[in-house]
Amino acid sequence: MKKLFTILLLISQIQAYSQCLTDHYYKEAIKNNPQLPEIEKAFYASVQQVDNNKRATKYIIPVVFHVIHTNGMENISKAQIENQIKILNEDFSLTNPNKSAIRTAFKTIAADCEIEFRLAKIDPQGNCTDGINRVYSPLHVGARDNVKGIAGARWPNSKYLNIWTVSSIEEQGATGGTTLGFAYLPYMVGSPSSVDGIVMRADRVGVIGTGDFSGAGRTLTHEVGHYLGLLHTFDDECAGTGSNQGDYCGDTPPVAGVFTNQGCPFNGNSCSTDVPNLIDQWENYMDYSKGSCQAMFSLNQKSIMHNVLTNGGGNTSFRKTLVSAANLLATGVNDGNTTPQAFFYSSARTVCVGQAVSFYDISCKANVDSRQWMFTGANITNTNKDTPVIVYSTPGKYKVTLMVTNGFGSNTLNVDDYITVVPAVAFEKTSVSQDFENPSWEISTGWSVVDQGLKFKRETTTSYGGAACLVAPINTSVPAGQRFQLITPPIDMRSLAGKSPKISMMVGYVRQNNLSSEELRIYYSRGCENNWTQFLYRSAGFISYSNTAFAIDFKPASPSEWKMISFGLSSFETDSNVAFMVEVVSGEGNHVYIDNINIGQFNTGIYDTEKNIALDVFPNPSTGELNIDYINASGETEVWLENIEGKRIATILEKNLQTGEISIKWNSQNMIPTGVYILKIKSNEQVINKKVIFAN
């Protein structure tokens, strides 16, 4: 008889030798419960067959996506998740666009399963939600059931279908292939359960964003089939016949092997034991055929799923609770007869002046008959639109209010400082540099470290050319996938047009061994939305100063143990507001040291320009007079003042060839209006910026 799946895994349909891990989980399941084979037989024996006659109502299943991430590409968008829900609902209602490709032999048994999936609108605490729970954790790398134990990352399985999305799934004992998702069969868990639900690779969710178009979004369709009691069509291979074959479905012809139908052979017939002898049904979502070929569930499969949702049996009765009328109200997927609870979100929380931001009403618990929005400081201060689009013209932080009403009453949500509006043109002008020499290097500079428990730290026991640097403190106890992130201030790049701008930095790193996997990534965010897109990736071997040296607890001891990483920024030359994020990803290996970051026309060197000329400007703020002291080792220097739009408003010193200590006392003669300005010093063809405040 077929082997029972404790966990059922959908494996890459491209690699014929993918590891399924079935034996491992089957043996573990039998160890824990020797009665499992009898429980399985009784479960499928209790199934009552249904047909394609319509029920009075569909079964509705509340869904929550737990997006496990560390701010990388695995932090998939709401639109991508909604696209996956759309695909699920098409596949389970036989409204999928490719259903016309179902071959004649199976058209009459292709089933409208009458099951619908809806993102939850009320969370377990009774608060409104969009059904997406984002949880920061490095456990998204090499995930298994461990992600279900993350604090806040599991909702009651008797009320929600829990789906965890991760960047990769551990291939324990595998010799090849890629696991895309796994789910527990209903008779393997009870309620409450700490493991019930589905784990999915984030890049297999839907077919937009990072979703894989070639898979047609069918990975989750397949896994939900398992969640509702379906087995693979190739179980028992050619040994079983009729309702006694491996998947207990007489209308799914037996299949000889796991990847027999990966190429979707039109007249493929791998087993002749079935009566009548039918071609293989690779259209079925429970085969390992290509997602683009899959197009149907069968009537017998529909019967199993309805049995799970209606009768359950044994310890599966919680699935009946899942679709109950009371639970649909409790999770908000159906509206109740009560006052709605106001709730909203926006397309962005930080925007530029003049940038449009959309607001979405996701109030819950009851139908909303009317709504009233109030926006402080916006172009529209009051509106009753469902999804208003708002523009702010002045920098600041602003309150947003939403009042929703129906026949039972009204409810109002006020959020102070909900929207942060910043100037459309970045204050910082190139070139921008950071050497971490100042202990207060983050204060009022626009540079910032992202704090997610573990973070970059300032290090004073080593550096490339000074007294300090930044370090990602990675070791074997820091989980793989943990991210260390440094964000630059927003920068106006336009003055570098045509000058081959670049971002460069010194990296101190060496691998523990040839399997070490630390990574360096760089992202950009245009405008003010904090929407990061990766544009540079460097592996451990690339960022290491040596391809042959290995060490444990490495710390660079000399400039030769640092490596310069540089990448061109010509595609950003016309950007008036762009920020960059430097990210180091843990591979459970060594520390990664970062120093002398420079964004400008030239690569970083042993010393940045400001340090090389020992710049000091005082008083700052100034009432009109500036004292500028610097040391020029060699070359020509020039000093001038610009406003924040980049226009030169005063030349302080031009073409000075003097070397050594130079002191300048300059008086604006009260010709400079109160405000923030940029003092610029050019030395050896590099330009540095110094913020100067005039308060006349």
> 529 is written with which tokens?
């939305």
Catalytic residue, from 40, 74, 223, 283: name it. 223
**Per-residue DSSP letter, 286:** T
> 509 is written with which tokens?
């790193």
**Whole-number Å distance between alpha carbons of 465 and 610:** 13
Please give the angle made by the CA atoms of 57, 63 and 68, to the nearest 5 degrees. 170
Helix (H) or strand (E) holding 235: none
Residues 6+ positions from 349 with CB-CB distance below 8 Å: 418, 419, 420, 530
Amino acid at residue number 428: E
**Whole-number Å distance between alpha carbons of 690 and 680:** 6
CA dihedral 438, 439, 445, 448 (to 10 degrees): 130
**Whole-number Å distance between alpha carbons of 624 and 638:** 20
Q: Strand 370-375's sheet: what is its strand order? A: 350-352, 409-422, 396-406, 370-375, 382-383
> 81 is written with which tokens?
């998740």
In the residue annotation, 223 being an active-site residue is answered as: yes
Three-state secondary-structure class, residue 601: coil
**Whole-number Å distance between alpha carbons of 270 and 279:** 8
**Per-residue DSSP letter, 571:** G
Residues 6+ positions from 643 with CB-CB distance below 8 Å: 649, 675, 677, 678
Tokens 């999804």 locate to 387
Q: What is the CA radius of gyration of the chain?
A: 31
For residues 246 and 254, the answer to whether their CB atoms sit within 8 Å is: yes
For residues 21 and 9, the answer to whether their CB atoms sit within 8 Å is: yes
From the number of C-beta atoms within 10 Å of its C-beta (0-12, 13-18, 19+), residue 150 rates as middle
Whole-number Cα distances in Å, 263 to 288, 292, 507: 9, 11, 46
> 639 is written with which tokens?
């000093």
Tokens 């073409």 locate to 655
Report the DSSP beta bridge partners of residue 311: none
- Short-list 60, 304, 20, CA closest to 185: 304
Whole-number Cα distances in Å, 97 to 115, 294, 295, 296: 17, 11, 9, 11
- The sign of the CA dihedral 295, 298, 302, 304 is negative
Q: Which residues are identified as catalytic? A: 223
